[in-house]
A = this chain, B = another copy of it.
Amino acid sequence: MAKPDKRDEIVRAALELIAENGFHGAPMAMIADKAGVGAGTIYRYFENKDVLINELYRELEQRLLTVLMDGYSPEKSVRERFIHLGTAVLRYCISNPLDFRYLEQFHNSPYGVVHRRDKISGEADDKDIYRKLFEEGLSRQVIKDLPLVVLFSLAFGPLISVARDHILGFVSLDDDLIVKIIAACWDGLKR
């Protein structure tokens, strides 16, 4: 009965510890402690630490995707859709700092590189809304003629950087500022 219950506790504890202290500041024993389970119990739900880390990543990715798709309408203009996505990402990151910090840790680690390589070389699935958006922007000639990967960097590089600064307390993002930042990103993208 306690099955998904315990699993959830473990995942939550892992998220918190890893987000705050990094992968190496989050030993399994500590995760177990925080989750209120025995160390061995974790291994009933996750084969090993790597699996735990990856499954947690998938969960966060899914949550983020859900938020992004909420209110997203493919009928709107490329610009409007970009603003929707950018704003949603930024808002999500700053209101879920643990999620954001975890995703960052993941991306800046060997896990992340592997994941990214798989994603880029793989086919576009229907979850791949950025790619679709940029491709449409290119064919409509509303955004600069640059490789997709570069467009991605132009669009989201600043957002991630600014989200980190917000979470670390180097700047305080309010709604007004967020809007201005997304607009600036669009200026970088648009033709």
**A positions within 8 Å CB-CB of B:** 21-22, 24-25, 104-105, 108-110, 113, 116-117, 120, 144, 146-147, 149-150, 152-154, 156-162, 165, 168, 170-171, 177, 180-181, 184-185, 187-190
Contacts and interface: CB of A to CB of B under 8 A. Distances in A.
Given A116-B168, A117-B168, A181 B162 contact: no
Given A170-B120, A187-B188, A153 B146 contact: no
Given A149-B170, A184-B146, A109 B158 contact: no
Contact of A162 (B120, B150, B180): B150
Contact of A108 (B108, B181, B187): B108
Nearest to A105: B108
Nearest to A186: B188
Copies in the complex: 2
Nearest to A24: B24
Contacts of A165: 149-150, 153
Contacts of A168: 113, 116-117
B144 A154 contact: no
Contacts of A147: 171, 177
A68 B149 CA distance: 26
A24 B188 CA distance: 37
A87 to B, nearest CB: 15
A28 to B, nearest CB: 15
Contact of A184 (B109, B144, B161): B144
A181 B161 contact: no
A180 B120 contact: no
Nearest to A156: B161
A185 B116 contact: no
A89 to B, nearest CB: 13
